[in-house]
Amino acid sequence: MRKVGIIGLGHVGATLAYRLVTENLVDELVLIDKNEKLAVSEEYDLLDAQVFLTGKSKIIIQDYQALKDASIIVFCAGQISALGDDGDRFRELDITSKIVEEIAPKIKHSGFDGIVLTITNPCDVIATYMQELTGFEPNKVFGTGTMLDTARMKQAVGRKLAIDSRNIGGYVYGEHGDSQFVAWSTVTAGDRPLLTWNKELDLAELDEDVRAGGWKAFAGKGYTSYGIATCGAQLIQMILNDSKSVVSVSAYNKQADAYYGQPVVIGKNGIESFVDCQLTEKEKDSLTSSIQIIKNGLTYLPYKQ
């Protein structure tokens, strides 16, 4: 049975729920939010939509015990208003860490033993905290990380080369935040290394375009939802279908002793394996710096003090 739980029904959680139901990606969907009236509204809105769909998903609300036999829980609870005008995701940590402290014991108590996917910001720190407080194996707790940032990179490169962004490969590494960086040595266009294209490219300008893409999606409405919810839906499909797909997510790297954005293989067990790309020395330095920023954020959590 394809059963998924979503905790947090803000813009991202609601958009994700809508896609899972309308595309018939799940048999059962458990929706939980601190605002019960919101959960009821989402339930009835989705039930109305299903009248016109070929498939049908059973919807359960506000029941942690219903998570026991779920395959995946998506944690996207938060308070986007805490982000501030500068887009600093660490501004959310004081609020979101407390939500994890409240929710993690309830997930454990439910008897759930599946995979936890975290979207809540700051993504890398929250994934770390969720793993620590649930005690689940690191391969079964991970964050969306730089998956969305990688999509933004593909968009930026595709625009520059005037080709479809789906023909662009490669990865954004590090923090889902300001210290992220495009590993240009991994980027391909039409299956050719990008750096071999006979076209002058300002990589610094492109790198900035990647960061700016997120801000442009956020600035006009005060949140983003479609892109990140699509990342969540894709990861759910990868897990349920045991697809062994390669994507860049926030995963625990034992050598660095940290969660950060990196390419991994996703399957039925969550993080199945890691993809070890040969980064340049400059990229390695950027990664080291980004990991340190994530670790600095961890020092604000009670278990690290």
Residue 252 tokens, joined: 């625990």
Q: CA nearest 212: which of 174, 233, 182, 243?
A: 182
Residue 121, marked binder: yes
| Burial class of residue 277 (count of CB atoms within 10 Å of its CB; 0-12, 13-18, 19+) | middle
| Residue 94 is labelled as binding a ligand | no
Q: Can you give the three-state secondary structure of the chain, one letter per residue?
A: CCEEEEECCCHHHHHHHHHHHHCCCCCEEEEECCCHHHHHHHHHHHHHHHCCCCCCCEEEECCHHHHCCCCEEEECCCCHHHHCCCCCHHHHHHHHHHHHHHHHHHHHHCCCCCEEEECCCCHHHHHHHHHHHHCCCHHHEEECCCHHHHHHHHHHHHHHHCCCHHHEECCEEECCCCCCEECHHHCEECCEEHHHCCCCCCHHHHHHHHHHHHHHHHHCCCCCCHHHHHHHHHHHHHHHCCCCEEEEEEEEECCCCEEEEEEEEEECCEEEEECCCCCCHHHHHHHHHHHHHHHHHHCCCHHHC
Determine if residue 232 is labeled as part of a ligand binding site.
no
Strands 115-118 and 141-143: parallel
Q: Is 109 a catalytic residue?
A: no
- Beta strand 172-173 with 270-274 is unpaired
What pLDDT sits at residue 153? 97
Please report the sign of the dihedral spanned by the C-alpha atoms of residue 132, residue 261, residue 248, residue 144: positive
Structural domains present in the chain: 3-143 (3.40.50.720), 147-304 (3.90.110.10)
| Residue 33 labeled ligand binder | yes
Backbone angles phi, psi at 66, to 5 degrees: -70, -10
12 annotated to bind ligand: yes
* 225/232 Cα distance (integer angstroms): 10
Specify the pTM. 0.95
Q: Rounded to an integer, what distance in angstroms lies between the CA atom of residue 133 and that of residue 130?
A: 5
Question: The tokens of 295 are what?
Answer: 């670790």
Closest CA to 268 of 228, 298, 235, 299: 235
111 is in an annotated binding site: no
pLDDT recorded at residue 300: 85
Q: Which of 2, 154, 160, 176 is catalytic?
A: 176
* pLDDT by position in tens, the chain (length 305): 999 999 999 999 999 999 999 999 999 999 999 999 999 999 999 999 999 999 999 999 999 999 999 999 999 998 866 565 555 667 789 899 999 999 999 999 999 999 999 999 999 999 999 999 999 999 999 999 999 999 999 999 999 999 999 999 999 999 999 899 999 999 999 989 998 987 788 999 998 888 888 888 888 998 899 999 999 999 999 999 999 999 999 999 999 999 999 999 999 999 999 999 999 999 999 999 999 999 999 998 876 54
Can you give the pLDDT at residue 84? 57
- The confidence score (pLDDT) of residue 41 equals 98
CA 188 vs. chain centroid, Å, equals 23
Cα 46 to its chain centre, rounded Å, is 23
pLDDT of amino acid 128: 97
* Ligand-binding site membership of 158 (annotated): no
Q: Give the pLDDT of residue 167.
A: 97
Enumerate residues 6+ apart whose C-beta is below 8 A from 153.
168, 170, 172, 182, 187, 206, 210
Determine if residue 119 is labeled as part of a ligand binding site: yes
